[in-house]
Amino acid sequence: MSLAELIPLVNSLSQSDKLSLFKLLAVQIPDAELQVIFSASEYPVWSPYDATEAVNILMQMIRDDREASTHA
């Protein structure tokens, strides 16, 4: 049976049957493969910590804006 044939059958299962199927399939995946799958889900997150260059740029923009508003 192909995956295309299985998808409608799985969609028709109850939530508890889907969970049982998920558990059955998860047990059959070796731990090494699971580690590869789940370790790839880490994403870098930007933090303002140590973003001194960004701070300097923003401060210069504020200074420029203040100068422009006082000369206007």
Q: How far apart are CA 66 and CA 52, in angstroms?
A: 21
Q: How far apart are CA 36 and CA 32, in angstroms?
A: 7
Residue 18: CB atoms within 10 A of its CB come to: 13
Tens of pLDDT along 16-61? 999 999 999 888 877 777 677 676 666 778 887 888 998 899 999 9
In this prediction, residue 11 has a pLDDT band, given cuts at 50, 70 and 90, of very high
pTM (2 d.p.): 0.43
Length of the chain equals 72
